[in-house]
A and B are shown apart, each in its own frame.
Chain A
Amino acid sequence: MSVLQRPKEAYLNVFAYRMAPKEEFFTRGHRACQGCGPALGLRHIMKAAGRDTIVVNATGCMEIISSPYPFTSWAVPWIHVAFENAAAVASGIDAAIKALQRKGKIPPKKINILAIAGDGGTADIGLQALSGMLARGHSVTYICYDNEAYMNTGVQGSSATPFGASTTTTPAGKVSFGAGYWKKNVAAIAAAHDVPYVATACPSYPLDLIRKVRRSFELEGPAYIHLFSVCPTGWGTPPELTVRMGRLAVETGMFPLYEVEYGRYKLTIDFPQGLRPVEDYLRQQRRFRHLTPDVIEQIQSRVTAEYERLKKMEKVTQE
């Protein structure tokens, strides 16, 4: 499929990046791997969030690479406390800012509070804190950068690891095809909290990502953005193909881009001509190269069904 055959929204999002703000708040000098998807995503996210933002970062790749004392890549106030509590620390900051502004101890000002955690810090160990934050209704945007395993500690499987992926704790072997469970749908869990805004995003679609981050801050209350983030190191993909791999994930339906605003679903990047086969995406990655046709078929049927379900949700909720 050539570029021009794609729907207009899809290629605009890829090529109109010059429309993004020039200021950088997640700046150069960090120690991420070549072709790091989460680092690329963070750069876009911080352009969208802007100067008046407080960032709470869970332990993980993005925390480690950006803050080896005495260096920092952050041009905004930033705090790291622990692995599982980004949502909890952000809750405290939100409560404090509200209380201090109400009591006149600090001047009134709209401050964006952004919690950032990886898929392990979100889908696994931080899920309880995230649920608490969403349920209590804090004005916090929580972004999970999902690179589908514990990459910082050496590619161990998380509950966001996709079916069939080989990781160091879900290795493919003579009697195993890798992760034998399906990827946990944290965006759906977040949406079940009936929060104002839930979205999925991918750095390969920067304008879509920037718009979603901005939207999350416009709406009063908690927001959750699930950022699909390619990890060349962990996935075994060429670093220069990070953006392409992200696009393939979206184009195959492995990771659909949608948003849920006050319960209304909308696919923000859709492919009316149909999805590419998942094999186009899987075949290019070391973590999936052991997959046999029957496992790929299982993945294909699940992806097709999930995409259909999303389309139905969109139809039902937009009415």
Chain B
Amino acid sequence: MWYLLQGVPGPVHQDGRRGGGIMARREGIEVSIAIAEAARQANVDVVSAYPITPQTHIVEHLAQLVADGNLDADYITVESEHTAMSACVGASVAGARVFTSTSAQGLALMNEIVYLASSLRTPVVMALANRALSGPISIWNDHSDVMNERDTGWISIFANNGQEAYDLTLMAFPIGEDRRVMHPVMINFDGFILTHVIEPIYIFDDDEIADFIPPFEPIYRVHPDYPVTMGPVGVPDIYTEAKKQQDVAIRESRAVIERVFEEFAQRYGRRYRAVETYRADDAEIVLLAQGSVIEAAEVAVDYLRDQGKKVGAVELRLWRPFPFDDMKEVLCGNTIKQVLVLDRCISFGGPPGPVLSEVRSALYHEPLRPMVVGVVAGLGGRDVPLEDYVEMFQIGEDCLRTGKEPGEEPELVKIVGLRE
């Protein structure tokens, strides 16, 4: 019996809720393939993507689905990522549901059009297999590619395992295409660490997921029956107002994101939150991170808890729109004395990492804010083993005791796992 009628048990979540009567099968499946399957189940109309390691298995599988007639879509074999995103924008304004996927250099090359995708309000869905930016060239995982796109106006969500990557890819469509939102969405998952791993993943029955994702009904589309002018010149009289509208829209998308998370939880039992916590209730030091490292951090938390340390982990799942309220609720006015931010990217010559500076500024005006310090680790595929997390918590303890930053002047960046 392939199908589990008892419902789908979720990954580790606090309330332990489970769905009932959900049609899904648990498969040992490569995470890349599961993400491609999610795009198929969303019945995308156009896929436009350019191959780049470690994203390749996603687009290869989609191309095969189209070739076998299992997905009725046009797969555009573009000649660059710049064109990949340009064609996504073109297809989206024509009213198609669009999917693309890339990594690192590909994202950097398409950067110009990444901005345009959001300002033209095209709900493109992008699966981003996070990889380090060159140079030196590295095909391995960190978060420098997505951090480079922080201010592009995309909704940006992190998955920390294969199940989440699959679920979030499915949820990206109803989030982005909601008429109140109309924003592109990127789902982040770590290259190789997730993309190339075979995990047991609950894959929904096609019928089960079909009505979770309503058809895409764009507000405007380029079609001769409804002539519209899109992308006109933004003269100084209106540019500022256009940008303000965009900012308002992405902030207001938060309500839709919550609604989709809630609907997903109601239907399938797996509850997603903008900010997730692990054993943080009575913790004094919490490690805040994004992506797959959070699961390893949880193991470290368990290890240190066994030794009597009051530590926990916090996952910043929703990167844009930034969940200010959730962060305050989770981190302020409780037992937490320190937030130790783990950045997977260096902000050269600035505050050590982008996540650290965001978290700090989000909590700056809170009277009961904890100390916020940061370390950098796991750059360009450098493994972060258990002892490194233990070291991080030790650094956190030292900072708490001395009241100082982890790094020494003049270099403020403390890299854990650096070979001296």
Chain A interface residues toward B at CB < 8 A:
51-54, 56, 63-64, 67-72, 74-82, 84-85, 87-100, 102-103, 105-106, 109, 111, 128-129, 131-132, 135-136
- Please, which residue of chain A has its CB at the minimum distance from the CB of B84? A88
List, in ascending order, chain A residues with CB within 8 A of B224's CB.
51-54, 76-77, 109, 111
B235's partner among A63, A69, A87, A106 (CB-CB below 8 A) is A69
Flag if A77 contacts B78 (CB, 8 Å). Answer: no
A80's partner among B45, B98, B232 (CB-CB below 8 A) is B232
Flag if B90 contacts A89 (CB, 8 Å). Answer: yes
A85's partner among B86, B98, B227, B238 (CB-CB below 8 A) is B86
- Cα distance A99–B96 when bound, in Å? 8
Flag if A106 contacts B87 (CB, 8 Å). Answer: no
- B29 on the A face (CB < 8 A): no
B222's partner among A54, A95, A128 (CB-CB below 8 A) is A54
- Cα distance A136–B76 when bound, in Å? 8
How many whole Å from B81's CB to the nearest CB in chain A? 10
- Please, which residue of chain B has its CB at the minimum distance from the CB of A94? B90
- Contacts known (A54-B224, A81-B120, A82-B112); A96 close to B94, Cβ less than 8 A: yes
B95's partner among A52, A75, A96, A136 (CB-CB below 8 A) is A96
How many whole Å from A4's CB to the nearest CB in chain B? 42
Chain B interface residues toward A at CB < 8 A:
45-46, 48, 72-74, 76-80, 82-83, 86-96, 98, 112-113, 116, 120, 215, 222-224, 226-235, 238
List, in ascending order, chain B residues with CB within 8 A of A131's CB.
79
How many whole Å from A46's CB to the nearest CB in chain B? 12
- Please, which residue of chain B has its CB at the minimum distance from the CB of A80? B231
- Please, which residue of chain A has its CB at the minimum distance from the CB of B74? A95
How many whole Å from A185's CB to the nearest CB in chain B? 21
Flag if B113 contacts A97 (CB, 8 Å). Answer: no
List, in ascending order, chain B residues with CB within 8 A of A72's CB.
229, 232
- Cα distance A91–B93 when bound, in Å? 12
How many whole Å from B124's CB to the nearest CB in chain A? 10
- Cα distance A67–B232 when bound, in Å? 5
B88's partner among A76, A92, A129, A136 (CB-CB below 8 A) is A92
How many whole Å from A219's CB to the nearest CB in chain B? 20
List, in ascending order, chain A residues with CB within 8 A of B92's CB.
92, 96
Q: List 7 A-B contacts (CB under 8 A).
A: A77-B224, A77-B226, A81-B120, A95-B74, A99-B72, A100-B45, A131-B79
Flag if A99 contacts B116 (CB, 8 Å). Answer: no
